[in-house]
Amino acid sequence: MDVLRLIEEKRKEKPLHFTLIDPDKQKPEEAAELAVKAKGFGSDAIMVGGSHPAHLLYLGNTIKLIKEKSSLPVILFPSSHSAISPEADAIFFMSLLNSRSPQYLIEEQSKGAMIVRKFGIETLPMAYLIIESGQTTSVEWSGNARAIPRNKPEFALGYALAGKYFGMKFVYLEAGSGAANPVPNEMVSLLKKHLGPDVFLIVGGAIRDAETAKEKVRAGADIIVTGTIAENDTYKFRKIIEAVKA
């Protein structure tokens, strides 16, 4: 499966929606059911990743079952080099560009690269940026990130352009799972204006209703990611995907 090609083709038609599944939050069978539901609602891919070390125990089985039950592409969204599984179709090969720690800028990646090469997994190069969301989020804390202030979209632009000039095909604006507030619309629109059509702008974190998803798409997001709502509220989850596709 050529996942990048698939994303490029689908994006020509409509914005995309990705469902984030954390293997630590449910049994592999339940994760597969969630993926089937996501596919039925129109979600385009399943991202698999988690922050708790225990998620690694269920990673391989979860991906295997998701792939068996739904035909959606499965993309790894790894928190470290340990979270790489040969079962996945592709991996977001990402650097947390606003981390203060070399571990998340390049050290995990240098270990991960050897595993990716061994397994031959398709790489989707991504600039990952943590945006201030009102309260410190788990990803901000564990990634040792200097969160970009909400009222400074130009700071985010600098990082995003650096990613683009490095050759990254994806820029992910992350408010953090379950964050107090999503990424501001002004930041999304400024980045999309300057990144152009060749870099996919992903927006995630705290997107909990259709109206918020619609705002981010209108501002210029190419891909909307939802995690928590998929687990907690099937009705809102479906409405979000419909809004992205509308």
Catalog residues that contact ligand 1GP under the rule CB under 6 A.
20, 174, 177-178, 204-207, 225-229
In whole angstroms, the minimum distance from the beta carbon of 218 to ligand 1GP comes to 19
Which residues, including other chains, have CB under 8 Å from residue 103's CB and lie 6 or more apart? 144
- Beta bridge partners, 190, equal none
Angstrom distances, CA of residue 24 to CA of 21, 58, 109? 9, 7, 23
In the bound state, the residue with its beta carbon closest to ligand 1GP is 204
Our CB check for ligand 1GP shows the closer of 114 and 135 to be: 135
In whole angstroms, the minimum distance from the beta carbon of 45 to ligand 1GP comes to 13
Our CB check for ligand 1GP shows the closer of 169 and 208 to be: 208
Q: What is the DSSP letter of 106?
A: I
| Cα pseudo-dihedral 239, 241, 244, 246, rounded to 10 | -70
Angle (nearest 5°) at CA 152 between 149 and 158: 105
Our CB check for ligand 1GP shows the closer of 20 and 187 to be: 20
The whole-angstrom separation of Cα 178 and Cα 20 is: 12
Q: What tokens does 163 get?
A: 């990613």
In whole angstroms, the minimum distance from the beta carbon of 229 to ligand 1GP comes to 6
Q: Which of these, 190, 185, 192, lies nearest to 212 by C-alpha position?
A: 185
In whole angstroms, the minimum distance from the beta carbon of 173 to ligand 1GP comes to 9
In whole angstroms, the minimum distance from the beta carbon of 137 to ligand 1GP comes to 9
Q: Which of these, 44, 96, 90, 73, lies nearest to 225 by C-alpha position?
A: 44
Our CB check for ligand 1GP shows the closer of 87 and 231 to be: 231
Q: Which of these, 245, 242, 223, 237, lies nearest to 33 by C-alpha position?
A: 237
Which residues, including other chains, have CB under 8 Å from residue 97's CB and lie 6 or more apart? 105, 127, 128, 129, 159, 162, 163
Q: What tokens does 180 get?
A: 């107090």
User: What 3-state class would DSSP assign to 46?
Assistant: strand
In whole angstroms, the minimum distance from the beta carbon of 177 to ligand 1GP comes to 4
In whole angstroms, the minimum distance from the beta carbon of 20 to ligand 1GP comes to 5
